[in-house]
Amino acid sequence: MLSFFLSLVLLLAACAPAGEAGSSTVQSTYIENKGSDTIVNLALAWAEAYQSQNPDVRISVTGGGSGTGIAALLNGTVDLANASRAIKDEEIAEARSQGINPVEFVIARDAIAVVVHPDNPVSQLTLQQISDIYSGKINNWSELGGEDRPIVRLSRETNSGTHVYFLENVLRLGNPEDKTLFSTDTLLLPSSEGIIHEVRQNPNAIGYDGLGYVPHDLKMIAIASAPGNDYVLPSIETVNNLTYPIARDLYMYTSGEPTGATRQYLDWIFSLEAQAIVVRLGFVPVQP
C-alpha cells in the first residue's frame, strides 16, 4: 500500500505544470534598469554575465538617456537608474517631495572623447577652442590650422547626461555663472552610435562621445585644459592620473538604500569580475 501511495505522489509531481511543483526554485527576481545611453552597453554586458551565474535573476536594461532613467526613478518604475551625470538638486528635491531618497553609486568612470574624421588634419585643441566651436564663435576649420571647410557640429540631444556634462564643463568651462549655449545649427543626435556614424561619413564634422564608443577608424583629438598646457589623449591611464580634462563619473541611483537582489547585484558590480568588463568595454574601472 505504501508503495502505491509513493508511486501516486511521483506521478502527480511529474504531471504538474512547470512552476507549481517546487515553485520556490523557479520563480525569478526581476530588476528594472534604465537610463544613460553611455552606460547601456556596459549595463547589458553586466546583466548578461550576472544572469549566467544567477539564473533566478532577470535584469531588464534599456537606454533613453540619463534624464529618462532619473525620471523613472522618481516615478517608481525602476530599481536602478543609470546616469552619466550627477542627479540635479531640483531632481533630488522632487524625489524627496514624493518620499523618495535617491542613493548614488559611482559604478565606473569615463572619458569624453572629441572625435573628427581621420582625414581632418587638426589633431589638437584647447578646451576654450572646443567651447568656441560649439558656441559658434569658430565656424571654419581653417581658423584652427585645418582646411578651408565649414565645421559641422554634432552633439547628443538635451536629455542625454553626456550633453549636460559637455555643456557645463566644456562649453561653459565649469563656470556655473556662464550661460553659453550650443550654436543653434548644432545637430542633436539621439545616440552615441549616431555621433560615430555621422563623423565617419562627414570629413567636416566634429562630435563627442564616451571613450568606450569610439572605434579605431575615427580620430580622437588631444586636448589641453588651457593654452600652454600639455595636449592629452583620452585613455584609462589619463583619466586615472587626472591629466585628461574631460572625464567624469558614471552613476547608478536607487530609491533608498538597496536591498535584496538589487543590493546583491550592485555588490557584484563592484567586484573585480564586473570591473574587468568595464575595462574591456573601454571605460575606466572604479576598482583597480
* pTM for this predicted structure: 0.81
Task: Return d(Cα 220, Cα 193) in angstroms, integer.
Answer: 15
User: What is the mean pLDDT of the segment spanning 90-113?
Assistant: 96
Domain ranges of the chain: 30-109+248-280, 111-247
Task: Note whether 162 and 82 are within 8 A (CB).
Answer: no
The pLDDT value given to residue 180: 97
The pLDDT value given to residue 15: 42
C-alpha grid cell, residue 1: 500500500
**In the chain, how many H helices and how many E strands?**
10, 11
Condensed to tens digits (0 to 9), the pLDDT of residues 109-158 reads: 999 999 999 999 999 999 999 999 999 999 999 999 999 999 999 999 99
Task: Identify which of 185, 199, 240 has the alpha carbon closest to the alpha carbon of residue 208.
Answer: 199
Task: Note whether 245 and 232 are within 8 A (CB).
Answer: yes
Distance from chain centroid for Cα 195: 14
User: What is the mean pLDDT of the segment spanning 62-90?
Assistant: 96
The pLDDT value given to residue 222: 98
User: Which of 26-40, 189-203, 234-248 has the weakest average pLDDT?
Assistant: 26-40
Condensed to tens digits (0 to 9), the pLDDT of residues 8-62 reads: 333 333 443 333 333 334 457 999 999 999 999 999 999 999 999 999 999 999 9
Whether residue 2 is predicted with pLDDT greater than 90 in this model: the reply is no
The pLDDT value given to residue 168: 96
**Percent of the chain residues past pLDDT 70, beyond the cut:** 90
Whether residue 161 is predicted with pLDDT greater than 60 in this model: the reply is yes
Task: Identify which of 267, 235, 273 has the alpha carbon closest to the alpha carbon of residue 109.
Answer: 235
User: What is the mean pLDDT of the segment spanning 157-162?
Assistant: 91
The pLDDT value given to residue 105: 98
CATH topology of domain 30-109+248-280: D-Maltodextrin-Binding Protein; domain 2 (3.40.190)
CATH of span 111-247:
3.40.190.10
The reply to whether domains 30-109+248-280 and 111-247 share a CATH topology is yes
Condensed to tens digits (0 to 9), the pLDDT of residues 10-23 reads: 333 344 333 333 33
Task: Return d(Cα 276, Cα 286) in angstroms, integer.
Answer: 10
Strand 205-210, strand 152-156: pairing: parallel
Considering the chain, what is the average pLDDT of its residues? 90
Question: Residue 207: enclosing H or E segment and its boundaries?
Answer: strand 205-210
The pLDDT value given to residue 212: 87
User: Which of 203-207, 261-265, 284-288 has the weakest average pLDDT?
Assistant: 284-288
User: What is the mean pLDDT of the segment spanning 162-166?
Assistant: 94
The pLDDT value given to residue 260: 96
